[in-house]
Amino acid sequence: MENKDNQVHEEFIDNTANAAEVQESMAVAEEIASPEKVLKDELDLANEKYLRLYAEFDNFRRRTSKERVELIQTAGKDVIKSMLPVLDDFDRALKSFEGREDDPALEGIKLIANKFRNTLVQQGLKEMEAIGQPFDAEVHEAITNIPSPTEDMKGKVIDVVEKGYFLQDKVIRYAKVVVGA
């Protein structure tokens, strides 16, 4: 019986040795496949970095392009804003000639005022329409409230003290208005 036990024991040792050999050969096979796997992982990582970098650059390009367009559109904002009082003076001058249509100076003032106004309009300036419009705190500045002449004018702009202007659809000067109460 001892012989049988030794024989079983030897078979067990042989099987264990075979299992160890199988494990070793599997490890060798894994080592052979491992460089390919490592290279594939590195390639996937490089592709991911490339895509992220490309997307980031594309976003940067769009953002700078948008900023450039906005800068060009509003580059003359300060200059145009400083010329608005001159435009107001032209309007007051034209208003002072009402009733004296035969005055020779009136024609010259009209020509200069129109040329000046058209030049500003070409730069993107747009006058606000306020009279008869509902009061909007986003574009109007209420100077005072007065009793409205009719019921439908309550809460609406009755008079404009100082005109408001848009530059490229952005308010550069709020209209100073009188609101009906």
For the segment 52-101, what is each residue's pLDDT rounded down to a tens digit?
Answer: 999 999 999 999 999 988 887 777 788 888 899 999 999 888 888 887 87
* Cα–Cα distance for residue pair 126/152, rounded to 1 Å: 27
Contacts of 108 (CB under 8 A, 6+ apart): none
For the segment 111-163, what is each residue's pLDDT rounded down to a tens digit?
Answer: 999 999 999 999 888 998 888 888 888 889 888 888 878 888 888 888 888 99
For residue 79, give the amino acid letter: V
The full set of domain ranges for the chain reads 1-73, 77-180
* Cα–Cα distance for residue pair 140/164, rounded to 1 Å: 8
* Cα–Cα distance for residue pair 156/148, rounded to 1 Å: 9
- pTM of the full predicted structure? 0.57
CATH fold of the domain at 77-180: Nucleotide Exchange Factor Grpe; Chain A, domain 2 (2.30.22)
